[in-house]
Amino acid sequence: MIRFEKPPGATGAYEFTAGRLWKVTIPKGEWRDVVLATDPGDATNLAVVSNNPSVSPRFPPMKLGGTSWSTTYGIFGENGGYTNLDVKVKVPGNEDPNTWPFITAIQVFVDDSKAASTSGGSVTLRYRSRPPVVNGGDYNWPTEFVLQNADRSTNGFIVQKVMIGFESADSSVPSEHVHYWEAWRVMYGRVFQGLSKTLLSAGDAAKSTGTRGSRGTEWHRFEAKFMPDYTEPEKWSTGVVKEAGPLPATSAQPPGWSSIGTARRAITVDFDNTTTPPTSNVTFLMENY
């Protein structure tokens, strides 16, 4: 079954009929999130579309494959009134969403009787990380971006400088270093995935992989800031800096960038993957310093 759901912990503004979500009410200038979920085998070429581009996602990334999944979409209440948020099956080679097979929908109502208030404070970026998972020289340290005092007038990009290093303990294995800048869109106070205007960001992660058979020190350093009304990442390419994955990224320092005022986080791991079992020691772990 393919269905919309209320996000965990959300309260109010969600109405149900026969146990299924059918209506979401959004005060003008505020956000509401919905979760599109499927059972195993149902997640094939799905797209979320709407007849009102100002209130809902148009063409968010499709999920392919045969396993169950769920994706959270942010809906911004811009224009008052009603619209539908439809789930359809995108037909390969057909770019007309009006002709795609319909699956399910929810009704979205933007209540303009009381507009959202603004915070009036300066916007500050902070990291909120979870504990790292470390296995030898491989590690995963996930985080999310927190925009303090953000409101519906907060627009621009989060720009993050990434520095990655491997200091080899073997003379026959070269050390490696790379640095680049990557970005996440901020729209109406919410953080989106890369250049997307529909898919909310799931955060970021410091990941080290492929250290099997080596020994030395692996490290990540991050500097990030919110840059209001910034548009430079619109010009950056995706897929060019492999470490950035699908995010827009550049290896050249972008115009307007400075490390002054950035939030920082860092991890350093000494490891030996030539032993059984592999050994590791987290020698440095810090954020928001």
- Residue 117 is assigned to a structural domain of this protein: no
Does one domain contain both 235 and 164?
Answer: yes
**pLDDT classification of 237: cutoffs 50, 70, 90:** very high
Mean per-residue pLDDT, 26-38: 84
pLDDT score at 199: 76
Q: With a cut of 60, say whether residue 72 has pLDDT above it.
A: yes
Which of 111, 137, 155 delimits the end of a domain? 111
Q: How far apart are CA 47 and CA 225, in angstroms?
A: 32
Nearest partner of 189 among 288, 24, 74, 110, judged by Cα: 74
Structural domain boundaries, residue 88: 2-111
Nearest to 31 by CA among 78, 101, 64: 78
Q: Are residues 156 and 94 in the same domain?
A: no
Q: Assess whether 163 and 200 both reside in one domain.
A: yes
Q: CB neighbours (10 Å) of residue 8?
A: 7
- Which amino acid type is present at position 214? S
Residue 96 placed within a domain: yes
Our count of domains for the chain comes to 2
**Buried b / exposed e along 150-171 (16+ C-beta atoms within 10 A):** bbbebbbbbbbbbebbbeeeee
- DSSP 8-state secondary structure symbol assigned to residue 55: T
Position 67 pLDDT exceeds 70 = no
254 and 168 in a common domain: yes
Tokens, residue 12: 């109010």
The reply to whether omega before 131 is within 30° of 0 (cis) is no
2 has a pLDDT exceeding 90: no
Query: 26 and 82: one domain?
Result: yes
**In this structure, which amino acid lies at residue 104?**
T
Can you give the CATH number for the domain in which 7 is found?
A: 2.60.40.10
> pLDDT value at position 61?
45
Do 133 and 274 sit in the same domain of this protein? yes
| Euclidean distance between CA atoms 166 and 209, whole angstroms | 11
Of the candidates 115, 118, 91, 119, the residue with the CA atom closest to the CA atom of residue 103: 91
- The answer to whether residues 101 and 129 belong to one domain is no
- The string of DSSP letters for 129-167 reads EPPPEEETTEEEEEEEEEEET--TT--EEEEEEEEEEEE
Q: Are residues 269 and 129 in the same domain?
A: yes
Confidence of residue 43 (pLDDT cuts 50, 70, 90): low
Shared domain check, 171 and 61: no
